[in-house]
Amino acid sequence: MTTPALAKLHGSITALITPFIGGEIDRPAFEKIVDYQLRNGTHGIVPCGTTGESPTLEFEDYHTIFDMSVALVKGQIPIIAGCGTNSTKKTIELTQLAKDCGADAALIVVPYYNKPTQAGLLAHYTAIHDAVDLPIVIYNVPGRCGSEIAVDTVCKLAELPRIIALKDATSDMSRTSFIKSRVKENFAVLSGEDALAGACLAQGGDGCISVTSNIAPRQCADMQNAWAAKDMATFFQRQYDLMPLHKALFVETSPAPVKYGASVLGLCRNELRLPLVPASSSAETAVREAMSKLELRAATPPQSQFLREERPPELLQSQGQR
Q: Annotated catalytic residue: which of 32, 99, 167, 259?
A: 167
CB 40 within 8 A of CB 247: no
139: annotated active-site residue: yes
Which residues make Cβ contacts (< 8 Å) with residue 81, sequence separation at least 6? 46, 47, 48, 62, 66, 69, 94, 95, 98, 101, 103, 105, 106, 107
CA dist., res. 322 & res. 91, Å (int): 35
CA dist., res. 308 & res. 199, Å (int): 37
* Burial class for 222, CB neighbours closer than 10 Å (0-12, 13-18, 19+): buried
260: annotated active-site residue: no
Beta bridge partners of 11: 207
Helix axes 281-293, 256-264, angle to 10 degrees: 60
Q: Annotated catalytic residue: which of 36, 62, 125, 139?
A: 139
CA dist., res. 78 & res. 13, Å (int): 9
CB 28 within 8 A of CB 212: no
CB 62 within 8 A of CB 97: yes
Closest CA to 197 of 52, 13, 6, 47: 13
Other Cβ atoms less than 10 A from the Cβ of 5: the count is 7
The catalytic site residues sit at 139, 167
